[in-house]
Chain A
């Protein structure tokens, strides 16, 4: 605490110098500690919860967190009040824009005002066609409660989709429960689904059976070494494992299998069979005479 004597600066460990070094070390240490804390906190706070979706055109989450300055201009220009800025205490990184599909989905504005409003490029201005947006991917997550999976014709998620018949289709399946009806299975296609969340918002259940998830949660990924044999074959224009032998089915004479075509074919022309086609005919023979 004693003031430095004037002219003592030349000596290596004058009190003033020592004090300066101590103070610097103390401050530096404190700030280093603070930085480690903040660094760890940001790593935790940066993880996006599953149901929070970024606006259209948002860069990949890590890049987005380095690009978005948390200004809220996108929020202001969203005509549907879809977007909001996360506040401290929410699970989304403080100040960054997001929306929750079940609350207010994205209406897929044709002029994409949110992207136009973004001054930083955190929402990529290269996105000019809203159909190219990938805010997430709808997943029919609960087959046990989805009405269509039970054989009913709810279809609501399908009907509300702005990209109906491209992003989501109804695929027909046999209904094994009733034995005579069809199931109309809502099926999402990742090549067209923008993740707007209108389906999730509209699902008639208490809790939506279809939900938009961030791609990282919604999609699987093949191992880099994995190849689909038939696609490779198609690409190559022929079999890649010679010799490409034609598959033979061990079928009775007069029956053929048309692979990828009609299926089982019975040649009607070949009648040189010693037995009746219908085994019942043989059994009923005697009975007919009794009658």
Chain B
């Protein structure tokens, strides 16, 4: 079954294709530019950034380290050198402000794979209720740290498709594409957004990092929502929208406060009524007007 109405069609009609895809385009640009920066060296000999997402060195001065990898290393019993620690602090500070899971939407290379799988899944009309709990990723996150401690190795890094895809593109894939393919198929066939929204401990870690982040999406003009459901359909973490968008009656403010919002901005794109915008987490006043008529958009649409 091919979906007859494409989510965002109304926004395209109202705002034009470009404005209805502005954040998506910005995001792809960001993801690809970051990858390009890493590839400039090995492909063209222009060494602006060396290394990969696990740890890198920019312009020979700025060290960046993935705090999650470093945490695994600490759990494994290794106290890293200052360079790596400083790099992790810089990265952590950035995501503390910009929203932890902004990593997922703006940086992570797997996002393009899972977005692709999701797009195809919608196109082919594949559905099927997910029996995966969204909390699984936090269990896996804990398990990876415990395993690191028990085995004294970065156990998760043996199979982490996120770092493997990025490292693979830069240093050589080997059989890592098989893992990436598994993630793609998982998202395509097994369950909607199975990897990023249910299993990935990298995203889970970054969500914890971003629980108090400054940059947030706000359903500022929620009283204009006409329940088209488009934002729910495009959102990789649909659960996060509901309180902010529909919570006026319950005294919930318009800021999407959930740490699992990836700050992808797709909801801003597809909303024909311009309900959403980026803003800060401050001024989350519950008296921001909501809808006069309380519909109850069912989450079952998402299944």
Interfacial residues, chain A to chain B (CB-CB below 8 A): 23-24, 26-28, 30-32, 34-35, 38-39, 41-43, 45-46, 62-63, 65-73, 75-77, 84-90, 93-95, 117-122, 125
Contact = CB atoms under 8 A, between A and B. Distances in A.
B52 interface: yes
Contacts of B139: 27-28, 31
Contacts, number: 166
A89 B76 CA distance: 24
A72 B171 contact: yes
Interface stretch (B92-100, B111-119, B154-162): B154-162
Contacts of B148: 66
Interface string B63-93: 1011001100100111111011001000000
A118 B76 CA distance: 18
A27 B136 contact: yes
A38 to B, nearest CB: 6
A69 B171 contact: no
Given A35-B147, A38-B156, A119 B133 contact: no
Contacts of B136: 27, 30-31
Contact of A88 (B79, B84, B174): B174
8 contacts: A30-B136, A65-B152, A66-B77, A69-B70, A71-B54, A87-B168, A87-B176, A120-B78
A90 B80 CA distance: 26
Interface in B141-174: 143, 146-148, 150-159, 163-164, 167-168, 170-174
Contacts of A38: 143, 147, 155-156, 158-159
Contact of A119 (B80, B140, B152, B164): B80
B154 A66 contact: yes
Given A71-B56, A87-B176, A120-B55, A62 B152 contact: yes
A85 B176 CA distance: 13
B66 A41 contact: no
B178 interface: yes
A120 B153 contact: no
Given A84-B172, A87-B171, A93-B153, 14 more contacts: A26-B133, A30-B136, A63-B78, A66-B73, A69-B66, A70-B167, A71-B54, A76-B50, A87-B175, A94-B159, A94-B174, A119-B63, A121-B80, A121-B81
Given A70-B157, A72-B167, A119-B65, A125 B56 contact: no
Contacts of B153: 42, 46, 62, 65-66, 93
A157 B87 CA distance: 43
B110 to A, nearest CB: 15
Contacts of A43: 151
B75 to A, nearest CB: 9
B7 interface: no
A1 B57 CA distance: 51
A119 B173 contact: no
